[in-house]
Amino acid sequence: MDKIIIADAGPLIALAGVDQLSLLSDLFSTVWITTSVKEECLAKSGKDSNNIAKVIKMGWLKEKEIFVSPNLYSNSLGDGEISSIEWAKKLTSEDCSCLIILDDKLARKYAFEAKLNFIGTVRLLDIAEKKKLIESAELLIKKISSNGYRISVDILQQVRLQYGN
């Protein structure tokens, strides 16, 4: 079975805001979101939600409804993060390979503690640059940041040190 890729709302919104959602399909062909993530992404009208709605219609961004108990997590986590983590935990317990795309620090802490595979937007952009899907991860990070998404070029430098340049 292929690896199941699960995306949280934050990275989707960040990439949609700079017209780069196609990077996800280029890297993974199919990406899954939970219903909670979809609702979060489409809650406000705008460029990012319109772009996300378009790729859902295209079919490579697929939805799965996951029911979870939010009482197991901090109130600081949203339903999308919780449902994504819970689905990944379930898949992992069934010996399915999965990867969660999430940026929220607390969500990443829970994913780490559950021994889940996860990646952030900055690492995705670094990989996309190495695969020549984009010209510059640094420039895209700056564009995403200027849209109000909390992301930094400093993180890119850390990622490159960790994974090699």
CATH among 3.20.20.70, 3.30.70.260, 2.130.10.10, 3.40.50.1010 for 4-163: 3.40.50.1010
Residue spans per domain, the chain: 4-163
Alpha carbon 94 to chain centroid distance? 22
**Which 3 state secondary structure label does DSSP give 105?**
helix
CB count within 10 Å of CB 28 equals 18
Cβ atoms of 6 and 100 closer than 8 Å: yes
pTM as predicted: 0.92
pLDDT in tens, 13-62: 999 999 999 999 999 989 999 999 999 999 999 999 999 999 999 999 99
Weakest-pLDDT range from 1-5, 37-41, 146-150 = 1-5
The radius of gyration of the chain from alpha carbons, rounded to an integer in Å, stands at: 15
What the block records as the tokens of 101 is 């795309």
Please name the amino acid found at residue 38.
K
Which range, of 3-7, 121-125, 157-161, averages the lowest pLDDT? 157-161
- The packing angle between helices 153-163 and 137-146, to 10°, is 150
Q: Is the pLDDT of residue 165 over 80?
A: no
The residue ranges of DSSP E strands in the chain, in sequence order, are: 4-7, 31-34, 61-64, 98-101, 118-119
Confidence at residue 105, expressed as pLDDT on a 0 to 100 scale? 92
Tokens of 105: 């620090």
